[in-house]
Amino acid sequence: MRAILDGLYRASSAAAAVCLCMIASLVLVQVFGRILDGTLRALDMPIAGITVPSLNEIAGFLFVAATFLALAATLRQADHIRVSMLIKVVPLGVRRILEAVVLIIATAIAAYAAYHAVLQVVDSIQFSTVSFGVIAIPLWIPQTALAIGLVVFAIALADELITVITSGTPTYQAHEEAKSEILQKPVITPEDAERGMS
């Protein structure tokens, strides 16, 4: 079970990373196509006309997919920001309860959002909605990425909740602490500091 879940989060974040690579590649093709045409025109030669049709829309879709598919991995690496002042100062037992309460609320919101994201996909399929651009892309395709991302996010939150209840420490805690305490190891030793102060 653990391996399946970890695989799910990894696959989802890998798909998000691929979306970013695709955005960069498509935009670069468009830019270099334009530069090439400009050069050819300056040389009085026929233009090559390399463009990416509907790039603006496709890039937007890929961005949505990248965002939502990365949600779970971002949670586990403690990259979603929150105010952890209170949670850090309370005693361990209270902290565990707080963490559980937060995760219950979070799971509920994520599950609610995921459910409605799935309904949105169903709607788009039913009404065969497509994008406005040169290439009419069925909207359910990018919307499915949004829905999958939220579903995986809800699963990851529920997973953390179970972890907190059974073992007390969420996965993201280690990353969270590492982030606020040491980004790198101290580069100024106390001796250096003394020397500087005197």
Partner 1 sequence: MGIETLAIVLGLAMLAALALGLWVSLALTAVAVLGIVIATSVPVGTVLATTFWGKLNSWELTALPMFIWMGEILFRSKLSEDMFAGLAPWMRGLPGRLLHVNILGCTIFAAVSGSSAATTATIGRMALPELSQRGYDPRIAIGTLAGSGTLGLLIPPSIILIVYGAATEQSIARLFIAGVLPGFMLAVLFMGFTAIWALTNKDKMPAAEPPIPLRERMAATRRLIPIILLIVAVIGSIYAGLASPTEAAAVGVFCALILSWLSGTLTKDSFTQALLGATRTSCMIAFILAGAAFLTVAMGYTRIPRELASWIGVMELSPYALLAALTLFFIILGCFLDGISIVVLTTSIILPMVQAAGIDPIWFGIFLVLVVEMSQITPPVGFNLFVIQGMTGRNIFQVALYALPFFGLLVLGTVLLVIFPEIALWLPETMLSNR
Site residues for partner 1 per CB under 8 A: 13, 16-17, 20-21, 23-24, 27-28, 30-31, 56-57, 59-64, 66-68, 70-71, 73-75, 77, 79-87, 98-99, 101-102, 105-106, 109-110, 112-113, 115-117, 119-120, 142-143, 146, 179-184, 186-188, 192-193, 195-197
Smallest separation, CB 77 to partner 1 (Å): 6
Residue number with CB closer to partner 1 (48 or 90): 90
Which residue number, 3 or 81, has a Cβ lying nearer to partner 1? 81
- Min CB(158)–partner 1 separation in Å: 14
CB of residue 59 to partner 1, shortest distance in Å = 4
The distance of closest approach from Cβ of residue 126 to partner 1 in the complex, given in angstroms and rounded to an integer, is: 14
Task: Pick the closer one to partner 1 by CB: 4 or 182.
Answer: 182
What is the per-residue DSSP string for 153-192? Answer: HHHHHHHHHHHHHHHS--THHHHHHHHHH-SS--SS-HHH
Q: Taking the complex as a whole, how short is the minimal distance between the CB of residue 115 and partner 1, in angstroms? A: 7
Residue 150 · residue 113 · CB < 8 Å: yes
**Which spans in the chain are helix H?**
2-42, 55-69, 71-76, 85-89, 92-126, 140-167, 172-181, 190-197
Q: Which is nearer to partner 1, 1 or 30 (CB)?
A: 30
CB of 13 vs partner 1, minimal distance in Å: 6
Contact 98, 90 (CB under 8 A): yes
Run of H or E residues at 90: none
The two tokens of residue 61 are 């879709």
Closer CB to partner 1, 60 or 168, in the complex:
60
User: In this structure, what token pair is assigned to residue 4?
Assistant: 């399946």
CA atoms of 3 and 170, how far apart (whole Å): 17
In the bound state with partner 1, the residue whose beta carbon lies nearer, of 1 and 183, is 183
| Residue in the block written with tokens 């999958």 | 148
What is the residue type of 137?
Answer: I
